[in-house]
Amino acid sequence: MPGHAASWCEGYPSVCPSPTCAQPLNPASPDTFKLITALLGECTGEAPLGGLFPESMIHLGGDEVNTNCWTKSPSVAAWLTARNMTADQGYGYFVNRTAHIAAAQGRRPGQWNEGW
Q: Which of 10, 46, 64, 114 is catalytic?
A: 64
The distance from CA 71 to its chain's CA centroid, rounded to whole angstroms, is 16
Q: Cα–Cα distance between 41 and 93 in angstroms, integer? A: 20
Q: Cα–Cα distance between 104 and 90 in angstroms, integer? A: 21
Residue 112 · residue 63 · CB < 8 Å: yes
Concerning whether 64 is annotated as a catalytic residue, the answer is yes
Coil, helix or strand for 53?
coil
Residue 17 · residue 106 · CB < 8 Å: no
Q: What residues act catalytically?
A: 64
